[in-house]
Structure 1
Amino acid sequence: MARHPYSPEERKQIFARFITAANQIMEEKGVNAVTIRQVAELAGFKSSTLYHYFSDQDHLIMYASMKYFQEYNHRLAVYITELRDPYLRFRATWEFFCDSAFRHPDAFYRLFFGRYRDDLEEIIRVYYEIFPDELQDTDPIVQDMLQHGSILQRNMSIMKPLVECGMVPAGQVEVWNEIIVHCFQVLLEEKMRYGDEVDSTALIERHQCYISALMERE
């Protein structure tokens, strides 16, 4: 006798189990150790079932990588609540983002520069439908950032206050946006290439220096 179709709530629970299983493997063995078979087995399902929820292994890893992204969002929301200066908030946002990214460079690269980067906005939406509790007590600026998948769009959203206060010329904001994001991508790729041989703190400081030089601030 064929099994009855899963209810929407059951599908959410299964979706969550696959994501949790993939993230567990990433934590224990690294992102390159994630396979469809191992994730399905750990979640308690057949590999064929997993393909009803994810297009392929990379698609699954995108969702599993959101756990690290959520950790960043939570830490950032706690810290920037006390910051009122738009420049300091902008720098703090990037400082925390770089810190989280350099802790999990492969995951962040896949999220923002990988194969499914153009689907990130939809992935973010679905992820928080599955794990709504992770959105609690999120700062309004962080919530606005979560509306955008593209890293260029995300950075543009947090640059708006800098344009409004005259720190960033409106006519140059798109160029400055691309420069800041490109600098981050170069540093992230350096971290991926050299791992622990390169100091993450030094990479963060370099990115902060790029921002300072661009905006002519100490």
Structure 2
Amino acid sequence: MTRLERKLAIKKLFIDTTVTIIKEEGIEKVSIRKIAKITGYNSATLYTYFKNLDYLILLSSLKFLKECIEGLNDYIIEAKNPLEESVLIWEFFCKCSFKRPKIYSSIFFSNLDYNQKNIENSCVLEEFYKIYPEDIPTSFTKFENIILKLDLYERNKEVLINLVDERFITLDKIEPINDLQLLIYKGLLEEAAKTRNVKTRNFLCDKAIRYIKNCYNFSPCI
């Protein structure tokens, strides 16, 4: 085993262990001490391979994003125009994320102790796919350039720009629509993260989808 292979193997062990803890106990139960005990490595080793625990949790949470990436193609296939595509993208994203609200909060609203906007999303994903090449998506929609963005604001902005290009909304509506949609999504996702009740989570998911869809009424073009 080469030095690089050993490094990737140890990272994979830490991430796999974190994923197991998340699945069995919940993301809030992840701790350095618990990971160290299960893997047999001390906490100093963890910090050798990851910036901090939050960064390890972020990388581990990406394992749960696969279903959302792979299922999008089929979900939006019936869309008749870009506006319907945009609505269906949000609908599918909400249905995936409200099943695991704490995990998606970790991915998109992580409590990292450094400015996440200064992290290149491509670098985070590049590191993840070096460790898990089998998780690299094999098919994309025309939204390939936004699917893997971890910055939701920029991600949604690109979808809205496409609606401007197709004359469904006007340019001046991008910022208010984007702000409103993300505020709605984040607020209701945080509420969903507070409960384990599936019916309540589904109710909040439906509410998010409905409110986010209504945001497009900001535009007189619709």
TM-score by length of 2: 0.84
In structure 1, distance between residues paired with 2:197 and 2:65: 21
> What is the distance in 1 between the residues matched to 2:155 and 2:105?
15
- Structure 1 gap segments, 5+ residues each: none
1:41 to 14, 37, 40: 37
1:188 is aligned to 2:215: no
1:208 aligns with 2:209: yes
Matched, 1:171 2:172: yes
**Deviation at 1:215?**
2.1
Q: 1:83 to 1:131 in 2, by over 3 A?
A: farther
- CA RMSD of superposed structures (Å): 2.5
C-alpha deviation, 1:82, in angstroms: 5.2
Q: In the TM superposition, what is the alpha-carbon distance from 1:95 to its structure 2 partner?
A: 1.4
The residue type paired with residue 202 of structure 1 is: F
Structure 1 pair 49/78, CA: closer, same or farther in 2 (3 Å)?
farther
Q: Is 1:53 aligned with 2:54?
A: no
Aligned to 1:143: 144
Q: Which residue of 2 aligns with 1:161?
A: 162
Larger relative contact order (CA 8 Å, sep ≥ 6): 2
- Equivalents in 1 of 2:203, 2:5: separation in Å? 45
* C-alpha displacement of 1:52: 0.8
Runs (4+) off by over 4 Å: none
User: 2:147 and 2:129 mapped to 1: Cα distance?
Assistant: 10
**Retained in 1: the 8 A contact 2:76–2:85?**
yes
Q: How many pairs are equivalent?
A: 214
Which residue, 12, 18, 23 being the options, matches 1:22? 18
Q: Which AA in structure 1 matches 2:136?
A: L
Greater CA drift, 76-85 or 93-102: 76-85
Q: Name the residue aligned to 1:112.
A: 108
In the TM superposition, what whole-angstrom CA distance separates every residue of 1:165-186 from its partner, at most 9, and x where no partner exists? 1112112112211111111011
Identity, % of aligned positions: 25
Letter in 2 for 1:57: L
Indicate the larger mover: 70-79 or 152-161: 70-79
Residue 64 (structure 2) aligns with:
68
Change (3 A) 1:108 1:120: farther
8 Å Cα contact 1:81/1:139 also seen in 2: no
Question: Which sections of structure 2, spanning at least 5 residues, go unmatched?
Answer: none
Q: Matches of 1:45 and 1:141 in 2, distance apart?
A: 43
Q: Are the counterparts in 2 of residues 73 and 142 from structure 1 also a CA contact under 8 Å?
A: no
CA distance in 1, matches of 2:198, 2:138: 36
Residues 46/84 of structure 1: CA separation in 2 closer, same or farther (3 Å cut): farther
Once the 2 structures are TM-superposed, how far is the Cα of residue 126 of structure 1 from its aligned partner?
1.5
- Counterpart Cα distance in 2 of 1:143 and 1:40: 37
Structure 1 position 84, deviation (Å): 5.1
User: In 1, are the aligned partners of 2:195 and 2:201 still within 8 Å (CA)?
Assistant: no
